[in-house]
Amino acid sequence: MSHTVGDVPCNKLVTVPAEATLISAIETMFENDYTQLGIERGDEIVGMVSYRSISRVLSILRKMGADKNLPGRQVGIAIEEISPVVEPDEDLIVLFDLLSESPYVIVQNEESQLDILTNYDLLQYLQNSIEPFLLIEDVERSVRDLIRHAFPENLDETLQEFFDEKDIRTPADITDCSFGHYPQFMCQNWSQFDVYFEENGDFIRRLLSEVGDIRNKIFHFRSDSYDSELEEELLIFAHGYFQRRLPDADMKSS
């Protein structure tokens, strides 16, 4: 199932009455950290006002020499069209094109309720979506660097000999290893690794196994068994834990 616009958390569009002054609208935006507001006439949202439209109209008023009575002008002078408008069930990909042209899109929900979705909302959604993948990748790079440091010579041959008689695929080299390989290799060669850790080999085995289990869940989209809050905390812990064990902070990863 593809991701849709409705998957991205957004906010109800806050409005001001069309009779409000431009100054009061600016104050509302500034006090609440809004970048745009809806303009409402009666029960209908008739347009938008944003920092972009306000800047445009102020520039025009100054050029015309008509900015002296600015405090009394109504917000409608800076009105812009309610656009772009998307439906919650549209493909998420449409947001990339729309938000490259506009700082926000309007999401029209059931009963014509309007929500607003900004560049920041999409960025936060994408960050939350990809962060677990990046954390897992960094954990794996750190573990590989530790193994390289512990076995600086003939590592590929050592790995192949070690796993040749094990009930797991024999890797061609370190980059061919997975979270099924790392705990076995490290724990059964613990004398080479205990210098990097205060904890024992069983702790490392359990931690790597947990990271591997989480990886399998999210890489195979098993969201029904993925506890995002708890397991992302574990990934953050493992990420920092293994990075702090690297003997050389400038070590290159691949």
Residue-range domain boundaries for the chain: 5-112, 123-244
The 3-state secondary structure of the chain reads CCCEHHHCCCEECCEEECCCEHHHHHHHHHHHCCCEEEEEECCEEEEEEEHHHHHHHHHHHHHHCCCCCHHHCEHHHHCECCCCEECCCCECCHHHHHHHHCCEEEEECHHHCEEEEEHHHHHHHHHHHHHHHHHHHHHHHHHHHHHHHHCCCCHHHHHHHHHCCCCCCCCCCHHHCCCCCHHHHHHHCHHHCHHHCCCCHHHHHHHHHHHHHHHHHHHCCCHHHCCHHHHHHHHHHHHHHHHHCCCCCCCCCC
**Tens digits of pLDDT across the chain (254 residues):** 578 999 999 999 999 999 999 889 999 999 999 989 999 998 889 999 998 898 888 888 888 877 777 767 889 889 999 989 999 999 999 999 999 988 899 999 876 689 999 999 999 999 888 999 999 999 999 999 999 999 999 999 999 999 998 999 999 999 999 999 999 999 999 999 999 999 999 999 999 999 999 998 887 765 554 567 788 899 999 999 999 998 764 444 44
Q: Does domain 5-112 have CATH number 3.30.70.120?
A: no
- pTM of whole model > 0.75? no
